[in-house]
Structure 1
Amino acid sequence: MPSAVDPPRPTPPQDRHLLPRQAPPDALLLRRDADAPRCPGQGVQRVGMIQPWLDAFPRTVAPIIDEIDYTLNFSLSRLISDGPNATLTATENAQPAIMATSVLILRVLEAEFGFQPQHRVDFTLGHSLGEFAALVAGGYLSFTDALRMVRRRAEVMARCSKEASAAIGGGEVGMVAIVCENEERMRALTDMVYDFLGMGSDGSKTDSARDVPAVDKVLIANINSKNQIVLSGSIERITTLLTHLRQFGGHDPRAVRLKADSPFHSPLMKPAEDEMKRILTGPSKTAVDQDIVAWPGLMPCISNVTARPFKSRAELKDLLARQCVETVDWWGSVRYLDKEEKVRRWLGVGPGKVGRNLVGKGIDAPRGLSPGTVKGGGVWGIDDPRHVEEIMKALDETELAYED
């Protein structure tokens, strides 16, 4: 793929350690009586985010960097390392960069600390972009297939955003987070949003909503927690919706414009959904003569769309493509794992702390770097090599506490 930094074509890595159906993510790996890694979605990228890992574990990390660059046919690692930030933040670069960094961190855990997700994890879960890494971690996608897929998906999404902006005369598109005081207020506000958008209380489209052109639509892109949702679409249309809520609904939620310049998880991303469907009907480019999706995986993976485990290979392909245009029910996923599956140990793997914060707000398990004194549970995030040893120790201690 061409790159804004236009580096030379990478040479094939020597002695690359390919793990076609093993664990890397950008997601959340969860376990009742063991460990749980989770990884982030777009927005957590930063220049230099792989350098501390390369400095700390050069023999493990250098071959992974070669593998990433060779797979994408351009030096993504150089862009992550040196920037510029404006180029790294572009959707087509940010998404594969975040996923690649999360994969890199998990492989460090495997190679340097003996952390094997297939033996220590009960579920995988990823937020938005992170769902791809969760599927890799769960053994459903190979890392290289997923990395190519994410890059192509991101390229189409970037094009969709430009076309949407042009269609409204150069107007802005993007995403806005809405925060309420409590769950009850959020539930009432969400019902009003659905009513304004011409949807049922479950988010299903009414006939009137189906007739609205995609460029005029707003969608609830994410249900992140009991008191936070994210709206996606035309910024002007979102502003109109917020005015409506304040004037006629008695709601005055806090609204925060996100840095994303793309209306992810909205009807404007329909071309990305179509591209994903096309890719998912093809074979794996890693495993010869195999479907691109392996079934079954190593452990259940939770769908962003249904907030429940994928039930079949066909459903996985359908929902993974639809995720481009549908709501990410993160809150529903976390509640399902917390209340129904009794997951008590949650481990984030990847750059940034947003995912850890969203999980920690919604469950009973304590949060912290090393809550080893808490019996059987906790929420951890691994984004810095200086903390890995302490977190691995805490995971071992809580596992023993759970078994006592």
Structure 2
Amino acid sequence: MDQWVFLFPGQGSQRVGMVQDFLNHYPQQTQEFFNIAQEKIGVDLLKLSQEGPEEELNLTYNTQPALLTLSALIYQIMSSKISFTPVAVAGHSLGEYSALVAAGSINFSDAVFLVRKRGEIMQNAVPAGNGTMVAVIGLPDQQLKPLIEELSHNGKIEIANYNSSEQVVFSLEKTLVPSVMENAKSRGAKKIIELRVSAPFHSSFMREAAHEFQTILSQISIAQPQVRFLSNVTADYLNDPEKIRELLNQQMVSPVKWKDIMDRLYQDGYRRFVEIGPGNVLSKLFKREYGQVETRSIQSASVLNEWMKEAS
């Protein structure tokens, strides 16, 4: 059996209608998963994922459990059809929770509860309109520090995601957006995009949120992962449950080291990657970083069925 690493997407990959194909092909399992989620958090995520409205689905406390439920469903369908275990799992931000469900470290209903609470706390951490996130593509590494130093005189700005050698994401005060656009461009950035997020995540903006979330995390059972799992905070493998708990909390205020995770997996000899969930952000980032790797993104039941035939 070939060695595949499973990758789990974070916020931004959601879209209205993302569950339809799985509902058509696997109605019973899909209903079961979304029913568990609804019982746990009191929200009809299936209806919201299918019908929207998009603005409501994009609220972080809805986005997070909806994405996790779909990713966990896809993984469960796969596991029930073929005898297959990934060699390693990793997820981007919210996707870290999906990865831990796949690794057998956190059970699904606990994970749905956790990410709903995480979303609520993160949403409330910064008053609406005060903070945002901006992706900067093509800015030379040596320009990052001077850009932050210059803009910091006028407000708070921090690196939230190291997504690839080409892309970083900043968390910042909303008032700094025009300055970032202008400054980054003048320093050689190819593209600057303000993200559709409701708060500036993975930064010190989330300090109080992390303190509140720590209490919730302490009540959840976490087991040793059954497959290799990489942390967003350290870009290293983790198997100690208490360390996982600690770093899940720390992840709220620390940058996501996705570039380092890709480097680590590649250096460890892994060349085949499957993205489990809607969108193909992570598989595209990996392919751009390392052109010789094989990537798949499983966004529909038909692609899932095709991949399972090949992998079995």
Normalising to structure 2: TM-score of the pair? 0.92
How far apart are the structure 1 equivalents of 2:113 and 2:137? Answer: 35
Which residue of the partner structure matches residue 311 of structure 2? Answer: 395
Counterpart Cα distance in 2 of 1:95 and 1:230: 19
Distance 2:157 2:109 in 1: 34
The partner residue of 1:231 within 170, 177, 188 is: 170
CA–CA distance in 1 between the matches of 2:217 and 2:54? 31
In structure 2, C-alpha distance between the alignment counterparts of 1:312 and 1:267, rounded to whole Å: 26
CA distance in 2, matches of 1:172, 1:51: 35
Task: Say which SS state the counterpart of residue 273 (structure 2) adopts.
Answer: strand
Q: CA deviation at 1:293?
A: 1.2
Write the deviation string for residues 132-175 of structure 1: whole angstroms up to 9, x where unpaired. 111111121111111100000100111123x2x4xxxxx55211
Q: Is the counterpart of residue 47 in structure 1 residue 16 in structure 2?
A: yes
One of 264, 276, 283 as aligned partner of 1:349: 276
2:32 equivalent to 1:95: no
**What does residue 11 of structure 1 align with?**
none
Q: Does 1:135 align with 2:103?
A: no
User: Partner residue of 1:255?
Assistant: 192
List runs of 5+ in structure 1 lacking aligned partners: 1-31, 166-170, 199-211, 285-291, 367-377, 397-404
Is 1:329 matched with 2:257?
yes
Partner residue, 2:213: 276
Q: Does 1:188 align with 2:125?
A: no
Alpha-carbon distance between aligned partners in 2 of 1:115 and 1:35, rounded to the nearest angstrom: 13
After superposition, the Cα gap between the structure-2 partners of 1:246 and 1:51, relative to the gap in structure 1 and judged at 3 Å, is: closer
Q: C-alpha deviations, 1:217-266, integer Å up to 9, x for none? A: 2111111111110111213224334544556xx43442111111321112
Partner of 1:179: 137
Letter in 2 for 1:381: S
Matched, 1:360 2:290: no
Secondary structure of the 1:176 match is strand
Is residue 6–residue 88 contact of structure 2 (8 Å, CA) maintained in 1?
no
SS at structure 2 position matched to 1:46: coil
1:68 and 2:37 equivalent? yes
Aligned to 2:76, the other structure's residue is in SS state helix
Report the CA distance shift for 1:316/1:193 in structure 2 as closer, same or farther (over 3 A).
Answer: farther
Cα distance change, pair 245–110 in 1 and its aligned pair in 2 (3 A): closer
1:89 Cα deviation after fit: 1.1
Check whether the contact 2:275–2:283 (CA below 8 A) recurs between aligned residues. Answer: yes
Bigger Cα displacement from structure 2, 145-154 vs 237-246: 237-246
Equivalent AA in structure 1 for residue 282 of structure 2: G
- Deviation at residue 390 of structure 1 after TM alignment: 2.1
> What is residue 155 of structure 2 aligned with on the other side?
216
Question: Which residue number in structure 2 is paired with residue 25 of structure 1?
Answer: none
Gaps of 5+ in 2: none
Same amino acid, percent of matched pairs: 30
- For 2:57 and 2:171, the matched residues in 1 are separated by 22
Shift of residue 330, structure 1, vs aligned partner: 0.2
Map 1:372-391 → 2, pairs under 5 A: 378-391=294-307
- Residue deviations 1:38-76, cap 9 Å, x none? 121001111221121011112322222222211222322
Q: Give RMSD over aligned pairs.
A: 2.2
Q: Kindly state the Cα deviation for residue 364 of structure 1 after the two structures are TM-superposed.
A: 4.2
**TM-score, structure 1 length as denominator?**
0.72
Where does residue 203 of structure 1 map in the other structure?
none
Equivalences, count: 312
Partner amino acid for 1:293?
I
SS at match of 1:121: coil
Given that residues 302 and 333 in structure 1 are in contact (C-alpha distance below 8 angstroms), is that contact kept between their aligned partners in structure 2?
yes
Larger Rg: 1
Equivalent residue of 2:170, what SS? strand
Match of 1:314 among 239, 242, 249: 242
2:82 corresponds in structure 1 to 114
